[in-house]
Amino acid sequence: MSRKKKFYFGIFEDGKSIKIAQLQMQKNAASVISLQKELMDEPLYAESVLKKKSLEQSDMGSTGAINLNEQSSEFEMDTSEDMQSKFMALDYLLRRFPLQDGKLALNVNNDKLSFHTVNLPSKKITRSKLVELEILKPYEKRDKKVLINFLPTVKEQTTVIIHRGENKLFNLLQDYNKKNSYKNFFYSLIDSNDVLLTDYLQNSEELELDSNTLMLYLGHDYKKGIIMEGKTYQKSFPIMTSTSSFDVKEEIYSKLMLMEDEGDIPKINKIIIAGDYSKEEDIEFFAEKYDSIKVKRASFENFPLSIDPEISEEEIAIFIVPIMLALKAMNLKNLSFTTSNFLSEKVIEAQKPFKIGWHGFLILAAIFVVGVYLTNSYLIYKQQLKEVTHKNKNLEFKLEAIEQDKMIIQNIQKQISEIEQSEKKITEILKNKNKWTYILNKFAYAFATHPQSWLVNLQNEKDNFSVTGYTDDRQNVIYFSKLFPNSKIMSVTSDRQNERNIWRFEITFSYPEINTLEIIASASPKTIPTPKVNKTRDTRNEHVDAKDIKNSFLLVTDAYKKGHKERTLQLAEDFIAKFPQAELALNCKYLIGEIIYQQGQTKRAEKLFDEVIETKNNMAPYALYMKAKLYAYKHKNIEKAIHLLDELKKYYTTSPIIPKAQKLYNKLEGHNE
């Protein structure tokens, strides 16, 4: 249901008369939709009627007393069918309104109310106080069926309005609701007629501060006068009329006059009339009677209420109470109403749309628990998820790094493979090739250390190579043949040239088992000292008496063999002085070095050994050996000694000193470790 279609219904029970006003909210203003009334066969509150009748009869001096209790119980004992038939008019009237689509406001029967004026402001009035003031019975203190509302009254007094008993209109509407609508009616307000009329007056702008206004509501059953002092409620009084009276207005007027005479009501400045007796002639009647007082019909001129022009002012005045009920239910902002409601707390609470029962709280608790559980679980899982995801990212990063490493490895392996392939190819190409530098060098050394020998030809065959040359010493041919593996001395023939005996030889060799690449890699300019070739070769061109040299050297060696060290030294020195350029001079130098080494003259000995080593004489390996010994035992320089022995083994592979050198080397290596 949209807000625009929201209806407000004011239902006013007045004895047999039922009036309903249907209002609707339109743009912050109320509008009257429908005003309808019906007369029931019997009033809802039969006992009150009987009570009134009784009063009337007593007033008229009737003889027979009426038993109220019996009537009442008679009414209560009516069957539902009787109820239905009795209140058919009400049922008929209710059916004309879409009550389920709006808010309902109804009045309480005036006879169910009791009015008490208390000299206290409403805020200070409590049930206990009312008990104390004997307005309430003690047992009513906590009785929720006893409903209390307050109406501010002049002189800071409060009129306490107490409702006792059931509200039959409300009960009847509930029954009707159950039978005719699946949707519960919404009850906004149950209020007393007096409060509603007071609210009407206070919002009507008819009241003046220094004047007294009398509101006469003359309904079907409810007839009451309400006196307003200024703008404040002063008091109300019922206007009892006789049902048998032919002129109700005259009766009312005479009662008012009586009350005025008795001083029950103050001097009135304005009379406002509403209810069933507010027709034009009624107004004129009262205006005529009270010629000095302004008499007017109640209207909604100053209310934010739009009324269909077809609805007459008389009709509005008749429906003033249901309209006020509906307006109060609307709770318009620009109208002020007395705070009062006789709707029981139970009904109000039950109608609250957001009212929650114990099961509702249970469900809320369950929602809370489930919510907390789910949120907690979610947060835990989320945290775990975050942590694991983070870990996974780290792992992925590591794995990515590993993958990259793998690629690097593959690249490296590829490069290695390519290089290995290339190296393999190169190695294959160079296999047993390019050994000539090594071979020629070895020949150079061999011929440098074996003078009086030379080559005339060197050439290679398929798997070997051969040399042809001359020497003056056949021993040299054997030495030469040991230079390279698998050598074969093909021929050695004697010859005589220039009065010298020489030997022509031819030797074939296999290629040495050396790795060309290793030779290239290890090549170093310092590996071998530059030989002084000319020194030995120079002797070739000198005309030296070879026999003399030989004899002189034999003397030296003879002394050495006999162990005559001093003599050996002397003879060797003489030989060097006599034949300084002779090859054997180097041998003499070696012998001197060896002897003086034993005598402890290490410095000179070392110098002599160096001289021999430099010339690459056949004594050079011996000199190297002795120098190594000198370094090992005299200078205590094992490293240097080992280096010298290394050199010896490397370049003098065929020397007889090699076994001794190896022995010394092993010894020193052990010492070094």
Partner 1 sequence: MNNKTRNSLILFFPLLTIFIFGNIFLGNIKKELSTVQQTHSKLNKKLQAGKTVEKEKEDAMLHLEELKKAKLKEQKVLRKIDNSTITFDYLVRLSQNFAQNIRFDFSRSKNVSNANTNYNEYMITGNAGLTNLQKMILNLEQQKAIYTIEDLAIANRNSVNTDSVEFSLKINAYYDKSGSDYDKINLTRLPYSFYKFNYFKPVIEIEELESVDPSLVNVKKSKLIGMTHNKAFIKESNGLINILSMNDPVAYGKLSFIDPENQEVIFELKINNKEEIYKMSLKGEES
Residue closer to partner 1, measured from CB, 114 or 392: 392
Nearer to partner 1, 406 or 663 (CB): 406
Kindly provide the residue ranges of all beta strands, DSSP E only, lying in 298-413, ordered along the sequence: 305-306
CA–CA gap between residue 463 and residue 595 (Å, rounded): 48
Report, in Å, the least distance between residue 273 CB and partner 1.
42
Cβ nearer to partner 1, comparing 141 with 537: 537
Q: From the CB of 478, what's the least distance to partner 1, in Å? A: 17
Q: Hey, what amino acid is at 380?
A: I
Closest CA to 505 of 447, 586, 579, 463: 447
Query: For partner 1, which is the closer residue by CB, 416 or 546?
Result: 416
Tokens of 402: 């590993």
What is the rounded distance in angstroms from the CA atom of residue 305 to the CA atom of residue 29? 6
Residues facing residue 32 across a β-bridge: 23
- Distances from the Cα of 357 to the Cαs of 160, 343, 364, 374, in angstroms? 33, 20, 10, 25
Neighbours of 64 (CB within 10 A): 7
Question: 3-state class of 40 per DSSP?
Answer: coil
Distance of CA 395 to CAs 201, 383, 388, 390, 647, Å?
85, 18, 10, 9, 58
Nearer to partner 1, 121 or 360 (CB): 360
For residue 263, report the phi and psi dihedrals to the nearest 5 degrees.
Answer: 80, 15
Of 2 and 498, the one with the shorter C-beta distance to partner 1 is 498
Q: Rounded CA gap, 184 and 173, in Å?
A: 10
Q: How far is the CB of 268 from partner 1 (least distance, A)?
A: 48
Nearer Cβ to partner 1 (173/252): 173
Identity of residue 73: S
- Sign of the Cα torsion 295, 298, 304, 305 reads negative
Enter the DSSP assignment of 632: I
| C-alpha separations of 174 from 15, 83, 267, 347, 648 in Å | 19, 14, 45, 11, 134
CB of 427 to partner 1, least distance (A): 9
Judged by beta carbon, residue 115 or residue 651, the one nearer partner 1 is 651
- Quick one: which H or E segment has residue 233? strand 232-238
For partner 1, the closer of residues 64 and 353 by Cβ is 353
Task: State the CB neighbour count (10 A cutoff) for residue 486.
Answer: 11
For residues 88 and 380, which CB has a smaller minimum distance to partner 1 in the complex? 380
Distance from C-alpha of 37 to C-alpha of 20, rounded to nearest angstrom: 6
Nearest to partner 1 of 338, 449 (CB atom):
449
**Is 468 or 570 the residue whose CB approaches partner 1 more closely?**
468
Cβ atoms of residues 251 and 56 within 8 Å: no
Cα–Cα distance measured from residue 542 to residue 612, given in angstroms and rounded to the nearest whole number: 21
User: Are the beta carbons of 605 and 626 closer than 8 angstroms?
Assistant: yes
User: In this complex, which beta carbon is closest to partner 1, that of residue 550 or of residue 650?
Assistant: 650
CA distance 26 to 305: 10
The least distance separating partner 1 from the CB of residue 127, rounded to whole angstroms, comes to 27
Q: What is the 3-state secondary structure (H, E, C) of 62-99?
A: CCCCCCHHHHHHHHHCCCHHHHHHHCHHHHHHHCCCCH
CB of 615 to partner 1, least distance (A): 11
Cβ at position 461, least distance to partner 1 in Å = 9
Nearest distance in Å: CB 336, partner 1: 29
CB of 565 to partner 1, least distance (A): 34
- Residue with smaller CB distance to partner 1, 613 or 668: 613
Distance of CA 311 to the CA centre of its chain: 68
Strands 305-306 and 29-39: parallel
Least separation, in Å, of the C-beta of 525 and partner 1? 3
Q: What is the DSSP-derived secondary structure letter of residue 531? A: P
How far are the Cα atoms of 549, 610, 624 from residue 661, in angstroms, in the given order? 30, 17, 9
Matching residue, tokens 């030294």:
569
**Closer of 2 and 530 to partner 1 (Cβ):** 530
Minimum CB separation of residue 635 from partner 1 in Å reads 27
Q: Tally DSSP H helices, then E strands, for the chain.
A: 24, 18
- Least separation in angstroms between CB 662 and partner 1: 24
**122 contact partners, CB below 8 Å, separation of at least 6:** 150, 152, 158
Six-digit token string for 274: 């509403």
Cβ 385 to partner 1 shortest distance, Å: 5
Is beta strand 464-471 parallel, antiparallel or unpaired with respect to 453-460?
antiparallel
Report the C-alpha gap between 300 and 306 in whole angstroms. Answer: 9
CB of 283 to partner 1, least distance (A): 47
* Min separation Cβ 173 and partner 1, Å: 17
Closest approach, Cβ 372 to partner 1, in A, equals 11
> Mind spelling out the 3-state secondary structure of 467-505?
EEEEECCHHHHHHHHCCCCCCEEEEEEEEEECCEEEEEE
**CB contact at 8 A, 488 and 507:** yes
Which residue's CB is nearer to partner 1, number 34 or number 100? 100
